[in-house]
Each structure stands twice: as C-alpha cells, then as structure tokens.
Amino acid sequence: MNPWQRELKLDPVPNLLSLENKAITYFAKRDLLDERVESIETLWKLRDAEKILRKQQSDGSWEYPGGKGHIRSQENYNQIETYRNLRDLVEKYGFTKKHEAIESAAEFFFRFQTGEGDFRGIYGTQYTPTYTPAIMELLIKAGYENDPHILKGFEWLLSIKQDDGGWAIPLRTAGKKLDALNSPELIHPVKSKPFSHLVTGMVLRAFATHPKYRKSESAEKAGELLISRFFKSDKYSDRRSKDFWEKVSYPFWFTDIISSLDSLSFIGLTRDNSQIAEALKWLKNRQTEDGLFNLKIVRGADKDLPYWICLAVCRLFNRYYE
C-alpha cells in the first residue's frame, strides 16, 4: 500500500478497479497507482463521451433545455449548458484541444470575452467572477494555458480582487439583488467589502490549474483566505449556508470542501496546515464500509457519481500524503 491508502479506514482502490466504468478505472490506475495506461484518447471513444459529442451544435455550444427569458437569453443559457458538458468531457474523459469538439467549444466561449477579459452573459450585463474562472479552469486543462484569452482572463481577475485578497460578486458588494443582473449600468466591485468564499474558491481553481499562476502570491493569499472559511457561512447571500461545504459534486461546480482541498493541494499548501488536516480527517471519518464516502452529492444523474467522488477524495489523500 501507498502511504495515502494507509491513512484511510479502508483501501477504496480495489472497489474502483472493479467497476465497469472504464474512465474511472483508467484514472484510478494512472493517478492512484502510478501505472502506465493507454493514451487518454482511448476514453474519447467511450459510448458516454460520444453521446455528449452528438449533441454539440454547429457553433460549438450545447443547447440549454428550457430557461427563463427574463433572466438571460437562450445564447447565455447555452453558455451554462456548454460549461456543463465541457466539464464532463474534460474531467471525466480527459478531452483536450486536440479534439475538434473542444476547439469549437473554446471558440464559442471566446465570443463572450469582453475587452476587459471576463466572459460575460451568464450574469446578464454584469461581471461573472464565478463562471469566468470556472470556464478558464477547463480550458487550461484542455491545453489553453498559454492562449491570450486565458492570460487576459487572469489579468481581469487580478484587477477585480477585493482589498483583502479574495473575490466577490461585484453587485453583491454593492448591496444589489439579482434583479440588477440585466441593469444597463455595469456594477463594479466595492473592494473594501469582504471576500466571498464561494467566489474565491471558484477563482482559485483557475489559478491552481495554471502552471504559472498557481505559484503566485495572489493564489497563496486566496488559499489562506479560503481555508479560514472552512465549514462557515458565506459573507453574502448566494449559497450562504455552511451546509454547502458538505454538498459536493463531480466534476466540480461551486465551492465545496473537496474542490477547495483540490485547489489548495496544487498551490502548495499542505496538511501541515491544521485546518487542512482537520478537513482531511473530516473526509476520512465519512468513509463507509464499502470504501466510498458518505457525502451529500449534488448535480448530475450519473449512477457512478459516488465513485467519481471517491476518486476525487483519493486523489486528495494521494497528494497530501505523498
């Protein structure tokens, strides 16, 4: 056994390897056991991946089913749906820009990037400091880390930081409600207001994914701020309850304890930090007799989500106890 496997109550790897899900077994062998595996492109041909690809539209997007016109346009709803599908392609099947579907999706997103550097539209006419870095994270993982659009995105993120070193949704710092999303006036952040851990956690994922920006002082400071809010309520009304720390998803969407620990492991913070150690202990105590983890899983109908979450947790222990 590797050191990280001994830290858990039960070794979950045999359970992961026994699955019929070829993507999970692939990543378990590669990331947890350091075994040599086939090219990642073998996953691109899996049935579930091809099912996603078949629904991509000619402009590179995926169509959002339904939606409310008074909130955002169909095109901007499609940004959300494209983000959702890109998450699966990149995180579950390892797609990169070598595949034309990813290149097409990237071009779709780049259409929404403003001169300032943010990807706008999901929050109507307002800044989007949650989805902008979330989209950047996926594109970086897909091979766009040096693309000018990504570098411009980082410039924008750094320009709208709160004075404390974290991030928040600007309209919330200005005391505005969601009906301001389509205001003709662009609302700038009130930088003297405190950071939001929801937003900061999502921004940090982009920094943690990038080989240069993960080493920056801004990433380290944001990481320290995020740790300080573990299992606490957010400062703002969006996903305020502390319970959201325990509501996890895979691929990651909003800020939760697993997505946060994942980012922190890449920017160089270790289990020597007492709060990180406590969070890892919290996860360990939720391991069940089958090696999985008793967590509140949200977002997605994939029957194998408990195993994807288990894989994500195992990756954490592998990094923190290497």
The pLDDT tens digits for 33-49 are 999 999 999 999 999 99
Q: Does residue 261 form part of some domain? A: yes
Cβ pair 168, 193 in contact under 8 A: yes
Alpha-carbon distance 114 to 156, whole Å?
Answer: 10
Other C-beta atoms within 10 Å of 78: how many?
21
Q: Is residue 52 part of a domain?
A: no
Mean pLDDT computed over 86-95: 98
Q: How many domains does the chain have?
A: 1
Place of tokens 């940090």: 204
User: What is d(CA 71, CA 182) in angstroms, rounded to the nearest whole number?
Assistant: 8
Mean of pLDDT over the chain: 96
Percent of the chain with pLDDT over 90: 92
pLDDT of residue 71: 66
Q: What is the mean predicted confidence (pLDDT) over 282-288?
A: 97
Sequence-ordered list of residues with C-beta below 8 angstroms from that of 164, at least 6 positions apart, any chain = 194, 195, 225
Dist CA 24 CA 27 (whole Å): 5
Q: Is residue 20 part of a domain?
A: yes
| Helix residue ranges, H only, the chain | 3-7, 13-17, 22-27, 47-54, 74-87, 93, 100-110, 131-139, 148-159, 170-173, 197-209, 217-228, 257-266, 274-284, 305-320
* 117, part of any domain: no
Residue 299 lies in a domain: yes
Q: Residue 292 and residue 308: Cα distance in Å, rounded?
A: 10
pLDDT band at 136 (very low <50, low <70, confident <90, very high): very high
The model's pTM is 0.96
The mean pLDDT of 249-261, rounded to a whole number, is 97
253 located within any domain: yes
The answer to whether residue 205 is domain-embedded is no
Range of the domain at 293: 1-38+241-322
Q: Is residue 184 part of a domain?
A: no
pLDDT attached to residue 72: 76
